[in-house]
Amino acid sequence: MIDKRHKTLGEFIIENQSSFQYSSGELSKLINAIRLAAKVVNHEVNKAGLVDILGGVGETNIQGERQQKLDVFANEKFIQTLKNREIVCGIASEEEDDFISINSSDEQHQNKYVVLIDPLDGSSNIDVNVSVGTIFSIYRRITPVGTPVQLEDFLQPGKNQVAAGYIVYGTSTMLVYTTGFGVNGFTLNPALGTFYLSHPNMQFPENGKIYSVNEGNYVHFLQGVKDYIKYCQEEEGDRPYTSRYIGSLVSDFHRNMIKGGIYMYPKSSVNENGKLRLLYECNPMAFIAEQANGLASGGRHRILDIEPTELHQRVPFFCGSKNMVEKLQEFLDKHYYGK
Ligand code: AHM
Ligand code: MG
């Protein structure tokens, strides 16, 4: 029996479209396409454990289908869905070296949105049955509609985002997104193939007790980060905090948003700019975080203010509950500026 109180994602999109003045419905169609691709990828990710039965990567399965790596599959699925529906003028993917320009068959390049996507983040976790995710980000193009998209349409600061979201393929599959009016989470009912609004108006608690960082890299971190980690571990007030690190950004972020916490991927003496990609990972997560009353910093600057210089640019990333990020920032400022 479906609980009548829970709206479906489809209903939610329609309802919210009418609240955007002058909306052409393009963004709604775009979110709908992402919803569809997410369901297809979810179906495939769920079969990952059946590799021995269905055939491994590179083998041909019983239906004569060639098995693909899941991140390649997810990449193709999202790109194909967005192309087929003719609702974007360009796509940039973490899996592709360059951006893709899309021609609409009726009228050339009439669409105004570009999508940036990390199709399957944390995919090294798939073999061990740990949650992975898809991250997406949507911008209005800068160059004129009707002309091919250019690199500058993708290299926009995160504060220009029109929408961003993620899908977490976890114990249940959820799609969480924002269009700049708060953050809403939808849970997939796999039997019906329908997403239901399960987490309306998601908010980071202002304070948290979880810190998430790959502590194996500790010796390579800046002194400010090391000091903050020690602060988290000290016995005082509500500390020590709890350390939780899945190594799957979407899952770590999702947990921290619900329970209160901070996620950190600092730069180190081995990774000069950290590991995470500004356009595909940090910007969308930062937009969601700010919309959910959290904060996201690159160490010195707000993530959403960074002017990107290249598609696959990496930046240090600190994101989560407001008071925790502010506290970390104090330690970093002391290190950077001797404050
Ligand atoms: P990926 O884009 O190659 O999947 O890498 C991104 C992932 C994040 O999901 C995760 O938070 C991080 O890499 C983990 O990195 P590490 O193993 O260095 O801690
Ligand atoms: Mg990634």
99-138 per-position pLDDT tens digit: 999 976 655 568 899 999 999 999 888 888 899 999 999 9
Q: What number of residues does the chain have?
A: 339
Walk me through the domains of the chain, giving residue ranges and CATH numbers.
Answer: 9-199 (3.30.540.10), 210-337 (3.40.190.80)
**281: three-class secondary structure by DSSP:** helix
Mean pLDDT of 58-83: 80
Whole-number percent of the chain with pLDDT over 90: 74
pTM: 0.94
Name the residue with the closest Cα to ligand 1, atom 7: 122
Q: Are strands 90-93 and 100-101 parallel, antiparallel or unpaired?
A: antiparallel
Name the residue with the closest Cα to ligand 1, atom 11: 249
Q: Are strands 90-93 and 113-121 parallel, antiparallel or unpaired?
A: parallel
CA dihedral 152, 158, 162, 165 (to 10 degrees): 120
What distance in Å separates the CA atoms of residue 278 and residue 310, rounded to the nearest whole number? 9
- Within 10 angstroms of residue 170's Cβ, the number of other Cβ atoms is 18
For 236-275, the pLDDT digits (tens) are 999 999 999 999 999 999 999 999 999 999 999 888 999 9
Residue 3 has pLDDT above 70, yes or no: no
Q: Which atom of ligand 1 is nearest to the CA of 125?
A: 4
What distance in Å separates the CA atoms of residue 220 and residue 125, rounded to the nearest whole number? 24
Residue 292 Cα to chain centre, angstroms: 14
Of residues 114, 206, 122, the one with CA closest to residue 164:
114
Least distant ligand from the CA of 123: 1
Residue 178 has pLDDT above 90, yes or no: yes
The reported pLDDT for the residue numbered 69 is 85
For 32-64, the pLDDT digits (tens) are 999 999 999 999 998 877 766 655 666 666 656
Of 122-131, 305-314, 319-328, minimum mean pLDDT range: 122-131
For 82-101, the pLDDT digits (tens) are 999 888 999 999 999 999 99
The reported pLDDT for the residue numbered 50 is 74
Residue 185 Cα to chain centre, angstroms: 13
CA–centroid distance, 313 to ligand 2, in Å, is 12
Residue 288 has pLDDT above 90, yes or no: yes
Least distant ligand from the CA of 119: 2
Burial class (CB in 10 A: 0-12, 13-18, 19+), 171: exposed
Q: Which atom of ligand 1 is nearest to the CA of 263?
A: 11
Tokens encoding 55: 């055939």
pLDDT bracket for residue 1 (50, 70, 90): very low
Of residues 177, 196, 189, 285, the one with CA closest to residue 5:
196
Ligand 1 binding residues, C-beta < 6 A: 121-123, 214, 247-249, 275
Q: 226 with 242: CB under 8 angstroms?
A: no
Q: Which atom of ligand 1 is nearest to the CA of 133?
A: 9
User: Which residue did the predictor score with more confidence, 97 or 336?
Assistant: 97
Residue 160 has pLDDT above 90, yes or no: yes
Radius of gyration of the chain (CA): 20
CA–centroid distance, 177 to ligand 1, in Å, is 21
